Amino acid sequence: MKRLQDKVAVITGAGSGIGKETALLFLEQGAKVVLADINKESLEETFEIIKQKKLDADACISVTDVSLENDIEKMINIAVDRFDGLNILFNNAGIGGAVGPITHIDADEWDKSFQILLKSVFLGCKYAARVMIKNNVGGSIINTASIAGMGGGSGPLAYSAAKAGIINFCINAAIELGPNKIRVNAISPGTIDTPLLATAIEDSKLDQPIKDFGMPIDIANTALFLASDESRFITGINICVDGGIELDRSGLMKDAAEHYAKMGIERVVGMNMGSTGIESVITDLQEDD
């Protein structure tokens, strides 16, 4: 029997990168999957791959802005209406978010970063848990955090703070939802070769034990374990999937700075929208600002 046979999953950020790879893997392992993303074009491209693999009978798409409560509720309802339930939620959607010095980050961009990175996790858990509790089936909620949320020097300030919030959210949600047999866990990727990472870092110069970028499948395999019954006794933890970079994170933000320097931007400020299809605005912070 396949590891997710007849389970129903919702995956956000499923149009590209980690979400795309996880959706394909879950489908191959017998799950019925709702693929959600704000980027309609990338979502449809992923669905074409699913059709080619003849897995489309067990999949559907939802164009979803994860920062909007109505969109999240609609996304969860699609799983219930189409597949008659929900067993797994993978809150994976994200952006690079607001970048720049504390003294120059735009407050609205800070808020938008938290809406997409952290509020979306709360909203996804809110509506997924309602279904899981009502149906009395338990379930697995998986949230993409980051090594950036585990300490200093591994990401922009807003991104790092939001990801730290996800890790703590998982701990407390696991305590609350455990009696309903709902497990809540986090995955903290390191340097994974995704479209989002490509917007910040070009070349791997990182000094880490496994001297390579991770691949989306590395995170997808971890999500598969957490989604399956193999992890039935695991909740409230953060699994670091990073090639060992968490052991010595020096150099990550230096590489990001070098990436922007090649673009002629010495001191960055703005908003990195990642692979959402929405234009990022990254500019050079002028010395006289």
Q: In angstroms, rounded to a whole number, what is the distance separating the alpha carbons of residues 62 and 221?
A: 23
Question: What is the share, in percent, of the chain residues with pLDDT greater than 90?
Answer: 70
Residue 204 pLDDT exceeds 60:
no
Residue 92 pLDDT exceeds 80:
yes
Sequence ranges of the domains in the chain:
8-284
Q: Which residues pair with 63 in a beta bridge?
A: 37
| CATH code of the region 8-284 | 3.40.50.720
Residues 229-269: tens digit of each pLDDT: 999 999 999 999 988 878 865 555 555 555 555 555 556 67
256-261 CB contacts, 8 Å cutoff, 24+ apart: 256/200, 256/201, 258/202, 259/200, 259/201, 259/202
The one catalytic residue in 47, 90, 114, 159 is 159
The kind and range of the H/E element at 32 are: strand 32-37
- The structure's pTM equals 0.88
Q: In angstroms, rounded to a whole number, what is the distance separating the alpha carbons of residues 276 and 79?
A: 22
Residue 133 pLDDT exceeds 90:
yes
Per-residue confidence (pLDDT) for residue 237, from 0 to 100: 98
Spatial strand order of the sheet with 268-272 comes to: 97-99, 268-272, 281-284
Mean pLDDT of 139-162: 91
Q: Is 127 a known active-site residue?
A: no
Residues 222-234: tens digit of each pLDDT: 999 999 999 999 9
Per-residue confidence (pLDDT) for residue 187, from 0 to 100: 98
Residue of 145, 140, 141, 114 lying closest to 229 (CA atoms):
140
Q: In angstroms, rounded to a whole number, what is the distance separating the alpha carbons of residues 124 and 104?
A: 31
Per-residue confidence (pLDDT) for residue 199, from 0 to 100: 47
Per-residue confidence (pLDDT) for residue 65, from 0 to 100: 98
Q: Average pLDDT, whole number, for the chain?
A: 88
Query: In the structure, what pLDDT confidence band is assigned to residue 211 with cuts at 50, 70 and 90?
Result: confident
Residues 26-62: tens digit of each pLDDT: 999 999 999 999 999 999 999 999 999 999 999 999 9
Higher pLDDT, 155 or 144: 144
- The one-letter code for the residue type at 152 is G
Per-residue confidence (pLDDT) for residue 288, from 0 to 100: 46
Per-residue confidence (pLDDT) for residue 264, from 0 to 100: 54
Range with lowest mean pLDDT among 4-13, 131-140, 199-208, 269-278: 199-208
